[in-house]
Amino acid sequence: MSVLFSFLIGLAVNLDNFLIGMSLGLKRQSLPFSSNFLISLTSGLFAYFPARLTKVIFINYLPAAQTAGAILMILYGLFCLCQACREMAFRTQVPPAAPVSNRQALALGVLLAINCVPPAISAGTFSFSPEATALFCCAFSFLSLWLGNRMGGQFAQKKGIRFLPYFAALLLILIGGIQLLF
């Protein structure tokens, strides 16, 4: 049963990764395997250590970690929204962007991995397997970023899909707002 809950935690904390992957794809920015792996590994580590060290980490910090993750998600959504507005104002066709570098991937990985901390602490509290929780967080991070990037790239090639970067940015802001409120 603990593996099932670890599976669900991995799925839940990575839904926003899909949107970020799609946002990158809409900008026609590829996500190389090495960058995606680095982001996913970061998520796995951010899930493993809190779950393993639950007895050391005070549960009182759980709301602070959720708030930080939510605020960062909102800020990233606002950044994407501003970038979409700027691109729309200055270009009609968005040229392919440079692939995500490993340095960018590490920064993005930390940003996305913060969402793994509160559920990982909860998983450790309930004696779920830290290894399974980290593995599922890592795997779902990789898959959701890859799938989102592919789908975003497909949509970017279609005419009349200019509103999707706005939608993805607003959805990121909404997810962060919901996390902040609840």
pLDDT digits (tens, 9 = 90+) for 135-153: 999 999 999 999 999 998 8
pLDDT of residue 62: 59
Q: Which residue has the higher pLDDT, 81 or 176?
A: 81
- Determine the average pLDDT of the residues in 153-174: 73
Look at residue 129 and tell me whether its pLDDT is greater than 90.
no
Mean pLDDT, residues 155-162: 68
Which of these, 170, 165, 173, lies nearest to 84 by C-alpha position?
165
| pLDDT of residue 95 exceeding 80 | no
Q: Which residues pair with 149 in a beta bridge?
A: none
DSSP states along 62-116: HHHHHHHHHHHHHHHHHHHHHHHHHHHHH-SSPPPBPPPPHHHHHHHHHHHHGGG
Q: Mean of the per-residue pLDDT values for the chain?
A: 81
pLDDT class for 43, splitting at 50, 70, 90?
Answer: very high
Cβ-count burial of 15 within 10 angstroms (0-12 exposed, 13-18 middle, 19+ buried)? middle
**Regarding predicted confidence, which is higher, 132 or 168?**
132
Q: Rounded distance, CA 23 to CA 62, Å?
A: 29
For the segment 23-49, the average pLDDT, to the nearest whole number, is: 91
Q: According to the per-residue pLDDT averaged within each range, which of 38-42, 126-130, 153-157 is highest?
A: 38-42
pTM above 0.85, yes or no: no
